[in-house]
Amino acid sequence: MKKPFKIGLLFLISMLFFTMLPTSVCQAASASVTVNGGSAINIGSGQSGSASITIGSISGFTEGNGVGGFTINLSWDPSVINVTSINAQSLPGFSITPGSPSGGSVKVSGHSSTSLITSTTNIASIQFDAIGAPGSSTNIEVS
């Protein structure tokens, strides 16, 4: 009957270890990403347009903390718009890397080891041409 005691002691020691971890490891925080502030862009077929990609609604961070890294997936209907480029904004201390648009989607990622995004910040812009039939539309989805 010594094995149950050893297993129980090991379990108790493990639980004590995990309860002593700093609470900042489990910090709950959130931020949202919007394209053009959620507003529609109306352009005619054959015209060009652009929209900003923004991180905002930052909440739940303690003083001195914020967003230090992100990966954003954008998608759209490629029969309606042709995305021609994604241009990263220059943010001090951040490296922002937009991927190449392909087949109606693109990934934009960024990180910093020295700076944090703590308020609403424009991180990139997306440029596109309207190629769909008059009256067609698409959302630029964020995930």
- Percent of the chain exceeding pLDDT 70 equals 78
SS3 state of residue 66: coil
Across the range 67-89, mean pLDDT stands at: 93
Three-class SS string for 89-133?
CCCCCCEEEECCCECCEEEEEEECCCCCECCCEEEEEEEEEECCC
pLDDT at 103: 93
Question: Measuring CA to CA, which residue among 96, 93, 97 is closest to residue 114?
Answer: 93
pLDDT at 75: 94
Residue 83 has pLDDT above 90, yes or no: yes
Residue 25 has pLDDT above 70, yes or no: no
Task: Say how far apart CA 75 and CA 103 lie, in whole Å.
Answer: 9
pLDDT in tens, 36-66: 888 888 888 899 999 999 988 777 777 677 8
pLDDT confidence of 82, banded at 50, 70, 90? very high
